[in-house]
């Protein structure tokens, strides 16, 4: 079973912020497979079970806040009987232009505290990831204010397209493998 984690922050005040694009992609995947999210009473996550193609998946939204995501991801992966190569993490990236996608089989945290938390909890960075570009922060704004800020008007107009393309990338990883997904989505 593939465990697909979208990184974000719980709560209505963060719902439509740049840092929550991982949650938005999982919401789209849950919509496509008609799989509702449910609260887990033992682990601080919301999960949905579904299918992508012929492959069973578990969609996971940590409810620990971004910088502590690993505290939720590690027990979910352990309970699912998965290994790090069964894990796919979706998150925002200020190093990529708005809407750009990068699919990778593994890598560093790249300065992303949520990814670093997952790596620290697992003791391993050998898990798949899909980085979603939210664009560089303006010089006049702190990084935390930028990622926790709402999407701009132009971003909101394109958000559905970006989220759908990222969900398509997740589906490609699950049905054709990460190499094929990299070939299809790592352009531009």
- Burial (CB count within 10 angstroms: exposed 0-12, middle 13-18, buried 19+), residue 121: middle
Please give the distance of CA 59 from its chain centroid, rounded to a whole number: 10
Helix (H) or strand (E) holding 22: helix 21-32
Residue 36's pLDDT is what? 94
pTM above 0.75, yes or no: yes
Q: What is the pLDDT of residues 59-95, one digit of tens each?
A: 999 999 999 999 999 999 999 887 898 999 999 999 9
Residue 34 pLDDT: 85
Residue 187 has pLDDT above 80, yes or no: no
Structural domains in the chain (count): 1
Domain of residue 58, residue span = 2-185
**CA–CA dist 137, 134 (Å, integer):** 9
- Residues 17 and 12: their CA atoms lie apart, in Å, by 10
From residue 74, how far is each of 36, 81, 113, 133, 140 by CA, in Å?
22, 11, 15, 25, 36
Compute the average pLDDT of residues 130-149. Answer: 96
User: pLDDT tens digits, residue range 20-40?
Assistant: 999 999 999 999 998 999 999
| DSSP conformational letter for 80 | T
If residue 187 lies in a helix (H) or strand (E), which one and from where to where? Answer: none
Given a contact cutoff of 8 angstroms between Cβ atoms, the answer to whether 3 and 75 are in contact is no
For residue 115, give the nearest of 43, 13, 19, 12 by alpha carbon. 19
* Beta partners for residue 26, in sequence order: none
CATH number at residue 129: 3.40.50.1470
Active site residue ranges:
19
């Amino acid at each position: 079973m593939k465990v697909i984690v979208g990184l974000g922050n719980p709560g209505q005040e963060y719902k439509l912020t740049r840092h929550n694009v991982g949650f938005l992609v999982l919401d789209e995947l849950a919509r496509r497979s008609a799989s509702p999210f449910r609260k887990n009473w033992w682990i601080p996550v919301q999960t949905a079970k579904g299918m992508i193609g012929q492959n069973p998946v578990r969609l996971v939204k940590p409810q620990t806040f971004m910088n502590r995501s690993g505290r939720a991801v590690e027990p979910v992966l352990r309970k699912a009987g998965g290994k790090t190569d069964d894990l796919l993490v979706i998150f925002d990236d200020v190093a990529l232009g708005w809407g750009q996608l990068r699919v990778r089989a593994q890598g560093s945290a790249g300065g992303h505290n949520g990814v670093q938390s997952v790596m620290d909890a697992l003791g391993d960075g050998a898990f798949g990831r899909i980085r979603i570009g939210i664009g560089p922060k303006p010089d006049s704004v702190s990084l935390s204010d930028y990622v926790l800020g709402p999407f701009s008007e132009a971003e909101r107009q394109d958000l559905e397209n970006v989220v759908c393309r990222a969900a398509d990338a997740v589906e490609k990883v699950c049905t054709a493998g990460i190499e094929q997904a990299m070939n299809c989505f790592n352009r531009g």
